[in-house]
Each structure stands twice: as structure tokens, then as C-alpha cells.
């Protein structure tokens, strides 16, 4: 894996138990990202079809709102997973520089 992932950061002393957690965490987060991303994509396609088939303005507005919320949710998930895997090790290294 890339050297900047959480598994590349090593804790010492009282925080050594975090090494095991951070060895397992990135693959789990990427699996969650894949599953939720795929489900969100399928749901967005279904909502797009519903938006195209909408008969009334109210149904169209409801479908557009649901589509927007789905895209925002998938984007937030992507940002959170990338933050935990990329930026959290940098923050930990800045706060606890002697443990790496």
C-alpha cells in the first residue's frame, strides 16, 4: 500500500494498541467506499430514470431533490474515507512526531 496510509504510522507506548486497529481500518474503509459508491451509483441511475419519467412537476421536483441528496451523500463519504486514510496520518505525525 501507499506509505501515507494509516497502516504506515506506528504508535508506541500506551497507544500501541492503535497499530492493530490502523492495520485493519484502511481496507475496511475502502470496501465500504466501494459498496456504498456502487449502491449510490445504481440509486442515482434509478432516480435519473424516475426524473425523466416524471409526469407532474411535483414528482419531478421530488426526484431531483432525492438525486441531489444521493450525490451529496456519496461525495461526503468519499471525502471522509480519504480524510481518514490520507490526512489523519499526517495530523497524527504532526501531533505525535516521536512515535513514528
Q: Residue 77: its pLDDT value, please?
A: 86
* Range scoring the smallest mean pLDDT among 22-26, 32-36, 50-54, 56-60: 22-26
How far, CA to CA in Å, does 5 sit from each of 2, 32, 83?
6, 16, 10
Q: Residue 18: its pLDDT value, please?
A: 73
Q: Residue 66: its pLDDT value, please?
A: 92
pLDDT average, residue stretch 62-83: 89
Output b/e per residue, 43-76; b: 16+ Cβ within 10 A. Answer: bbeebeebbeeeeeeeeeeebeebbeebeeebee
pLDDT average, residue stretch 12-17: 72
Q: Residue 97: its pLDDT value, please?
A: 64
pTM over 0.95: no
Quick one: DSSP state of residue 9? Answer: -
Amino acid at each position: 500500500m501507499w506509505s501515507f496510509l494509516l497502516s504506515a504510522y506506528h504508535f508506541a507506548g500506551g497507544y500501541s494498541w492503535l497499530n492493530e486497529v490502523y492495520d485493519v481500518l484502511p481496507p475496511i474503509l475502502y470496501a465500504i467506499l466501494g459498496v456504498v459508491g456502487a449502491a449510490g451509483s445504481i440509486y442515482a441511475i434509478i432516480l435519473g430514470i424516475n426524473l425523466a419519467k416524471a409526469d407532474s412537476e411535483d414528482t419531478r421536483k421530488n426526484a431531483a431533490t432525492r438525486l441531489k441528496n444521493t450525490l451529496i451523500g456519496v461525495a461526503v463519504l468519499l471525502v471522509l474515507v480519504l480524510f481518514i486514510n490520507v490526512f489523519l496520518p499526517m495530523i497524527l505525525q504532526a501531533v505525535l512526531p516521536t512515535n513514528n
